[in-house]
Amino acid sequence: MRAYVWALLAFSVSAVAQQAAPASPATLTGQVMGHVVCGDTNQPARFATVQLIGEHPPASPIFDTEAMAKDPDFEKSIGKAMAAVMKGGNSNLSAVTALDGAFTMEKVPPGNYWVVAQFAGYLSPLSQLSPIERAKASSDALKAVQSSAEKIEIQPNVSVRVDIRLERGASISGTIRYDDGSPAPGVTPMLITLDKDGKWKDMGVISTIPASSDDQGHYRISGLLPGKYAVKATLPTTQVSVGLGAMPSVHTSLGDMLLVYSGGALHQKDIKPVEVSSGDDVNGIDVVFPIDNLHSVAGSVVAKTDSHAVNSGWVSLEETDTKVQVRGASIEQDGTFRLNYVLEGQYILKVAGAADKEFASIGGTLAFMLPGKTLKTYGPIEMPIALKNDSTGLVLQVPDLSATPAPSPAAVAPAAAQ
């Protein structure tokens, strides 16, 4: 279905047999140069990005979830991944176009590459991939890029010219607001698309820099392939305030992130997809947060052996029928957790990654970033919840990993329900 779309991306590639600057035998490299033009205006794509994707692109360690799951110290694993990302790399394999749309990449190692340009509102060979798929750089993702991007071969001391013509994609727009009519500014809309198998695929945020709703709640997502889409959003419970001094204040509450969908849908199963064709601008795709009939789920996580509070881990709530996770929050250092703004319905409450930790003595934001010492880890548990009112005072008992897991939900004892 998507093959014909990429026919719109007209690439002309020519190898120029001119010599680049002399280089030593150990550092022989080539050069890539060219222009990027907007197909609908014939004007330069100014400050667009151009990347060379090799035959074996490195995956981002942040999204190597399988490796992280095998690490008994999850926080330490996250720290390693962040350190790897901070090292950067491959900076010579990308460029930004100038005011005339021109770009140049020097000192490109010999090899085969696929040329990808990206510009807000326009299609690229990466448009069909979610941010996570891009970061994982799987063989399927690489094949998707190779099937639509132009291939070039870099040889030592040879300059290759690549001129790229981009075609504008479709867009959807609307407002994000509360059901009393007031706008919801500062909310980041996230795109989902309906695949051929009838399942929703999370496309995440379709830009390097997320675009949030403005002060009137307006949003717009552009550069879309033809297809069926919807938009989801969560309450803007993470906020940054900047006052006087060097450090901003960060306020976040993952447990309050109510998730809703466009078209008035409160659950994924109720979504009505919006179909767009090439170049369509579809407006009125609104997202509305309810403010009434919302409930809380709260309690504490304790070790089943001696009932002491477990001070680290993750509590999540997923819909029973769709298995969609609608909420999640970290276990606090006193063992408590709280999930607010939960819709009435049938859910499964889960605990994963529970552990006793010895946290760093330093406080504030740095304490969150520094990995603590793991003293003991516990097994996962889950329990069903039929939520019609607030359900608080729950006591979730996690078993030792060495012990035989108890049948769900025997490891969970609700102490009080309101």
pLDDT digits (tens, 9 = 90+) for 71-90: 545 455 555 555 554 444 44
Q: In what order do the strands lie in the sheet with 102-108?
A: 10-19, 158-166, 30-38, 102-108
Helix segments in 94-194, DSSP class H: 131-136, 139-146
CATH architecture of 294-414: Sandwich (2.60)
Cα–Cα dist 361/380, whole Å: 28
* Residue 261 · residue 232 · CB < 8 Å: yes
Cα–Cα dist 246/124, whole Å: 39
C-alpha angle with apex 71: 65 to 74, nearest 5 degrees? 75
Note the pLDDT tens digit of each residue in 231-252. Answer: 999 999 888 888 887 678 888 8
Note the pLDDT tens digit of each residue in 171-207. Answer: 999 999 999 999 999 999 999 999 988 889 988 765 5
| 293 three-state secondary structure | coil
Contacts of 229 (CB under 8 A, 6+ apart): 172, 191, 192, 193, 194, 273, 274, 275, 276
Cα–Cα dist 97/104, whole Å: 8
Note the pLDDT tens digit of each residue in 262-310. Answer: 999 999 989 999 999 998 999 999 999 999 999 999 999 999 999 999 9
Band of pLDDT at residue 30, cut at 50, 70 and 90:
very high
Q: pTM for this one?
A: 0.76
What is the dihedral angle through the alpha carbons of 264, 266, 268, 272, rounded to the nearest 10 degrees?
-10
Note the pLDDT tens digit of each residue in 373-416. Answer: 888 999 999 999 999 999 999 999 999 886 444 444 434 444 33
Amino acid 172: pLDDT: 95
Any idea how long the chain is?
418
CATH 2.60.40.10 spans which residues of the chain? Answer: 3-166, 170-289, 294-414
Cα–Cα dist 381/407, whole Å: 9
Element at 340 (helix H, strand E): strand 336-343
Give the CATH fold of the 3-166 domain. Answer: Immunoglobulin-like (2.60.40)
Q: Is the pLDDT of residue 3 over 50?
A: no
Band of pLDDT at residue 361, cut at 50, 70 and 90:
low
Q: Does domain 170-289 have CATH number 2.60.40.10?
A: yes
